[in-house]
Amino acid sequence: MRRSSKGKCHLCGGIFGKSAMTRHLEKCRQEDAAGASELKGFHLLVEGDGQPEYWMHIETPAEAKLKDLDKFLRDTWLECCGHMSAFRIEGQSYVYPSGSGLGKSMNAALEKVLAAGMSFEHEYDFGTTTALALRVVAEQTRSRAHAKPSGF
């Protein structure tokens, strides 16, 4: 039996399923940004790795760093005890905290490591790991009102 979950759009308050939310956000985000100054950004879909019923959409400026996205994921979904984490992007690891020798620092700007259509991974706590699958749904022009990653 296929399970379906729904989420709430933080821009308009509407409730949608995962695929309907992807379509809805394109329209709703444009309406929300009308008249605002603009900045390049990314629309990301985050899912539990192997558990697609757990998901959220994120909007983030392109100049944000991987460490900003990591902090957002920790603050909204993952954090319990300050464990290590890592992004895996096209064969390269970006690790928090830096200096562990396990990969590059998360100080890389998203615009330097991400592109539309790209899929990548995030892992939190290398003992009892929580794995997330992320996909860049779109590169977009977005409102300057949001300077850090945020859920829609």
What average pLDDT does the chain have?
84
β-pairing verdict for 38-48 and 130-143? antiparallel
Cβ atoms of 97 and 114 closer than 8 Å: no
What pLDDT is attached to residue 14? Answer: 85
Each domain of the chain, given as residue ranges in start order, spans: 7-151
Instruction: Output the six-digit token pair for 81.
Output: 């005890």
Is residue 31 pLDDT above 70, yes or no? no
Q: By C-alpha distance, which of 137, 141, 138, 150 is closest to 18?
A: 137
Q: By C-alpha distance, which of 53, 56, 34, 59 is closest to 45?
A: 56
Residue range 7-151 in CATH 3.40.140.10: no
Mind listing the pLDDT tens digit for each residue in 49-86? 988 889 999 989 999 999 999 999 999 888 778 789 99
What's the pTM?
A: 0.78
Instruction: Output the six-digit token pair for 88.
Output: 């895996």
Grade residue 32 by pLDDT with cuts at 50, 70 and 90: low
